[in-house]
Amino acid sequence: MINLIIFGPPGSGKGTQAAKLVKKYKLQHISTGDLFRYNLSNNTKLGKEAKKYMDKGELVPDKVTIKMLKDKVESSGKVAGFILDGFPRTIAQSKALDKFLKSRKQSVSKLVMLDVPDEELKERLLERGKTSGRADDVNPKIIQNRIDVYKNTTYPVFNYYFKDRNAVKVWGVGSLETVFKRLCFEINDLEVVKKTKKLAAAKRARAKKATEKKSKAKKTSTKKASKKKAGPKLKTAKPRKKTSSKRAKKK
């Protein structure tokens, strides 16, 4: 199981990069922000509760968020792993996640943080606000509050995982592809990813061999069939030479 955390301040590109990583590593993407917005648009009890905090750029209480995350993981069925985007955002959430994964005989494989300077974050969020329809992307005060909450409450999560040496910072400024390559470089370094890749390569090789064997068998059987259709080869009789005795008779 690969359990990645894509981490970083609001506007650092977590969601965009997570969508690309999910495709490459065949993982299940869980974004707590998206889950809250889904509940909000469906006017659920959870959505109504979360709205009070989201509108102000505050964090939704841990208890509510942790439960939502666990429910989502548990209902995800058989997957190769998860990319958690926007979770954990507090130390309490990190501890709850570790405990939850441990109960499933798993752990966090790696936390990759997208490092982006504040000024760039503000610009990106205001730009996104023009089209995203997200109320928390429009107001500069709310944007600033989200960045402050990140620095004060969320950033310590990086240090929490860094202690176990499975947290890295990746420079999050550059083209989408460049940042993606930087992330992949860090993820490919994981033992669990190397092992998965090896297994996949072996599986591909086995499949290739089987198809080659099949097509070889097919070729031989069509050759045999066409021979059968043509019937037995008839020997063309050679013109008989006149024998000398015949010639002698004629004379």
Q: Which residues are catalytic?
A: 14, 89, 128, 134, 146
- C-beta nearest to ligand AMP: residue: 33
Residue identified by tokens 């969020």 is 125
> Between β-strands 81-85 and 110-115, what pairing exists: parallel, antiparallel or unpaired?
unpaired
Provide the token pair at 58: 């505050």
Q: For ligand AMP, which is the closer residue by CB, 17 or 65?
A: 65
Distance CA 146, CA 59 (A): 9
**Which residue, 124 or 146, is less far from ligand AMP as judged by CB?**
146
Least CB distance from residue 93 to ligand AMP, whole Å? 6
Under the rule (CB under 6 A), what is the footprint of ligand AMP?
10, 32-33, 36, 53-54, 57-60, 65, 86-87, 89, 93, 136, 146
- Shorter beta-carbon distance to ligand AMP: residue 136 or 193: 136
Shorter beta-carbon distance to ligand AMP: residue 34 or 196:
34
Q: What is the closest distance, in whole angstroms, from the C-beta atom of residue 154 to ligand AMP in the complex?
A: 8
Contacts with 5 (C-beta within 8 Å, 6 or more apart), sequence order: 83, 84, 87, 88, 108, 110, 111, 112, 161
64: nearest Cα among 106, 107, 96:
96
Helix, strand, coil fractions of the chain, as percent rounded to 5: 65, 10, 25
